[in-house]
Homo-oligomer: A and B are copies of this chain.
């Protein structure tokens, strides 16, 4: 059942829609800037300049740099969710991310920045976001690991949550090593090694 738009609220709704479109436009641009030039390109000043809007207009949508960075990372993750090769297996998932991330070192750098901010004082929203992200990701991967264990694809004697923590940690740590030394460290190959360790022993 669809109802006709309520004339009383239509202008306000158009305002909301316009605001949402503007916000999406800004995120689009910042994702592109960060992917190409890294986190340093994402100061509120340079973002406003590249969009041809005022600093004040940008702050209307994103009151602080932390909030902008979190929104950018969240939007990037939402888009990643639609990647066709997602959720095959716990380790395989991390490995697929490593492959996709090769194309967007700036967004990997952004993730590293958010993690470091999260463990410092003075970034409560970032801490909350990263903490919740780990909690959710651990639960999601642990569930997928438990299915793999039930199906005989992963050793049944491994704690599913601990193995989930290990996969996430390995993936995060490898990204830093790869960013600093892409010729020496191939995250995808190292995660393939981890993948070879977890099946049951015949």
Contact = CB atoms under 8 A, between A and B. Distances in A.
A172 interface: yes
Interface string A127-152: 10011001100100000000000000
Prevailing SS type, chain A contact patch:
helix
Given A134-B180, A184-B135, A193-B159, A39 B169 contact: no
A58 to B, nearest CB: 22
A104 interface: no
A124 interface: no
A130 to B, nearest CB: 6
Instruction: With a 10 A CB-CB cut-off, give which of A131, A163, A166, A189 has the most chain B CB atoms.
Output: A166
A152 B193 CA distance: 18
Contact of A198 (B118, B138, B165, B197): B197
Given A116-B113, A168-B173, A174-B165, A180 B38 contact: no
A118 B179 CA distance: 9
Contacts of A185: 134, 165
A180 to B, nearest CB: 5
A116 B116 contact: yes
A134 B181 contact: yes
18 contacts: A40-B121, A112-B115, A113-B120, A115-B116, A119-B180, A127-B180, A130-B180, A134-B185, A135-B184, A138-B184, A159-B193, A165-B174, A166-B174, A169-B173, A169-B177, A169-B190, A170-B170, A172-B172
